[in-house]
Amino acid sequence: MSGADRVDWRSLESTAQVSIPADPLLRVIGQEEAVTLARIAAKQRRHLLLVGPPGTGKSMIAQALALHLSRPTQEIRVVHNPENPERPLVEVKNADEVSSESKTKEFAEGELIEPKNAPVNVTERLGYRCRNCGAYSSPKERICPKCQKGKGADVAANNPFGDLMSGLFEQMNAAGLTGTAGKERVTTTRTRFGKEEVVVFERCGEMIRLLDQDALEKRRDWEKQSPRKVIVRLDRNPFVLATGSSETELLGDVRHDPYGGHAQLGTQPYDRVVPGAIHEAHEGVLFIDELPHLGHLQRFILTAMQERRFPISGRNPQSAGASVKVENVPCNFIFVGACNIQDLEQVLSPLRSRVCGNGYEVLVNTAMPDTEENRGRLVQFIAQEIVSDGRIPHADASAIEAIIKEARARAVKVDNINNALTLRLRELGGLIRAAGDLAMVENAPMITAAHIAKAVERSKSAEEQIKDRYGSYTKGLGTDISSAQKEKSPYYFWNETKDSMFH
Ligand SMILES: Nc1ncnc2c1ncn2[C@@H]1O[C@H](COP(=O)(O)OP(=O)(O)O)[C@@H](O)[C@H]1O
Ligand SMILES: [Mg+2]
């Protein structure tokens, strides 16, 4: 079921020959149970709680799960509510509606035409055509580049009495009939299919925008709609990381406005609504690492999971946003939580029971049996780490063997498991990178066993280094204290004199 090619690592010359699976879930090694459950969670939209020590692939699994979900199909918007601006309405549109709307909008934007294809009098009035010599040029240039005379367009455009009719139209436009006041435009009529209709020509850079009656009507309809703001876009990342989020980051907020949403001065409440991570994760994965750190906020996650919608309101009582609330904002996410074994009891129990009732809890592995097959998986991991780092060379056969040996040693040393390979792979990845850096410094074409040996030495924790030097950690501690008491630290003198200033 895994589908990954079995790595025949003994015949390899280097990790460059290892093929890395395209499926991100197949890149996770040694966590078969968790990966299987992640696949089910993606397919059936179930929740997941991953329990285990750091660096064993929990975040990796959560991310890979999100990549197995189909694309989001809904866009979430907040719409101005003219009857009660502090209660903006939520609007959910599916992909089809979004694209047909944008087509309508495009249509309402009219058609762009070359100035040469517009009526001569229109191009003259908009400043594209010189009234003296008939040459075309950019309306930005007041002087005709061909005949070096004023184009003569400015007179009409700047003086409303210069051209009585265009002045009149300009005023109509300014009155908001078309909503684009300020743009240079000419309104005329044309006869089409035996009927007279109004057409508008607008300046649009080097081109002219033509709006016929249909487009004008569409534009008017468009402007009649209540204003709205998209808070969760259709085109979004289905993986949302909410570790260490504050309450507002997690649940959304309504920004403060010093003018309190005053109709003219302020920003309307709907426009100040900010979605939370729970809303951004709609149709995707909400991943919370170190779940217990969320503390009391876990309760809100539980509510959001149950209701699949959660209101957005101003969360700071001192802010003008506090009086604003949008009800029923969708937040239908797959919840993936992660935590250490020790922290498990700090996970809110109703939240855990919710996960169990509609998903899975899984304890990740810290080591895997030292079998040929698992050694092959470890080699795949080595290749992945090297390729994803991108700055280090591949590992040769001697290095591969040395890393396998180290993985075996670590399973004993860290987790006290014999005949196994460690799955605390973030740290093992660190070792590979350190060895790779050594190879780079030496300009070596590949990582070798010697680089690994040196990196193992360097990767020792400070405690291990103390143990190596002084025989035991406590002995080392003793040395440190006594030496500090004998010789004064270089800061001793400075502290003394600083103190004495206050006596
Ligand atoms: N099971 C695994 N398979 C492959 N790589 C792993 C695995 N576990 C950890 N790694 C490597 O270590 C890195 C950190 O792992 P991560 O998923 O963040 O661990 P966790 O979330 O459990 O702390 C990953 O990006 C990956 O490079
Ligand atoms: Mg992590």
Q: Report whether 151 contacts 130 (CB < 8 A).
A: yes
Residue-wise pLDDT tens digits, 200-246: 998 888 889 999 888 888 888 877 788 999 999 999 999 999 987 89
Assign 384 a pLDDT band (cuts: 50, 70, 90): very high
The whole-angstrom separation of Cα 290 and Cα 337 is 8
The whole-angstrom separation of Cα 34 and Cα 62 is 10
Average pLDDT over residues 270-292: 96
**pTM of the predicted model as reported, rounded to 2 decimal places:** 0.77
DSSP one-letter string for 164-178: HHHHHHHHHIIIIIS
pLDDT: which is higher, 128 or 392: 392
The answer to whether residue 4 is domain-embedded is no
Question: Which secondary structure element, helix H or strand E, spans residue 104, and what is its range?
Answer: helix 95-108
Strands 420-422, 367-369: parallel, antiparallel or unpaired by DSSP?
Answer: antiparallel
Is 276 near ligand 1, meaning CB less than 6 Å away? no
Cα of 381 vs centre of ligand 1, distance in Å, is 10
The answer to whether residue 217 is domain-embedded is no
**343 & 238 share domain:** yes
User: Is residue 172's pLDDT more than 60?
Assistant: no
Predicted pLDDT of residue 177: 40
Is 55 near ligand 1, meaning CB less than 6 Å away? yes
The answer to whether residue 101 is domain-embedded is no
Strands 47-51, 359-363: parallel, antiparallel or unpaired by DSSP?
Answer: parallel
Residue-wise pLDDT tens digits, 75-118: 999 999 999 999 999 999 999 999 888 888 777 778 889 999 99
Three-state DSSP state, 230: strand
Cα of 428 vs centre of ligand 1, distance in Å, is 10
CA of 53, closest atom in ligand 1:
22
As a whole number of Å, the CA-based R_g of the chain is 34
Is 423 near ligand 1, meaning CB less than 6 Å away? yes
CA of 388, closest atom in ligand 1:
27
Q: Report whether 473 contacts 467 (CB < 8 A).
A: yes
Is 30 near ligand 1, meaning CB less than 6 Å away? yes
**117 & 79 share domain:** no
Predicted pLDDT of residue 497: 45
User: Is residue 19's pLDDT more than 80?
Assistant: yes
User: Is residue 349's pLDDT more than 70?
Assistant: yes
Residue-wise pLDDT tens digits, 36-71: 999 999 999 999 999 999 999 999 999 999 999 999
Q: Return the top range by mean pLDDT from 98-107, 131-140, 176-185, 485-494.
A: 131-140
Distances in Å between the alpha carbon of 373 and those of 125, 366, 428?
Answer: 79, 17, 19
For residue 75, give its domain range: 33-89+231-363
Distance of CA 146 to the CA centre of its chain: 52
Backbone φ/ψ region at 62: left (φ over 0), alpha (ψ -120 to 50), beta: alpha
Question: Which secondary structure element, helix H or strand E, spans residue 75, and what is its range?
Answer: strand 74-79
Q: Report whether 312 contacts 367 (CB < 8 A).
A: no
User: Is residue 254's pLDDT more than 50?
Assistant: yes
**235 & 184 share domain:** no
What does the H/E/C string look like for 280-297?
HCCCCEEEECCHHHHHHH
Residue-wise pLDDT tens digits, 401-447: 999 999 999 999 999 999 999 999 999 999 999 999 999 999 999 99
User: Is residue 183's pLDDT more than 70?
Assistant: no
Query: What's the mean per-residue pLDDT of the chain?
Result: 86
Query: What residue's CA is closest to ligand 1, atom 12?
Result: 426
Is 381 near ligand 1, meaning CB less than 6 Å away? yes
* Total number of domains constituting the chain: 4
Range 424-457 burial, b when 16+ CB lie within 10 A, else e? bbeebbebbbbbbbbbeeeeeebbbbbbbbebbe
Query: And the tokens for 8?
Result: 């025949």
**293 & 347 share domain:** yes
**268 & 343 share domain:** yes
**336 & 398 share domain:** no
Residue-wise pLDDT tens digits, 467-479: 888 887 777 777 6
The answer to whether residue 220 is domain-embedded is no
| Nearest bound ligand to the CA of residue 241 | 2
End-to-end CA distance of the chain: 77
Distances in Å between the alpha carbon of 198 and those of 166, 223, 245?
Answer: 13, 19, 55
The answer to whether residue 440 is domain-embedded is yes
Cα of 247 vs centre of ligand 2, distance in Å, is 21
**302 & 249 share domain:** yes
Predicted pLDDT of residue 176: 38
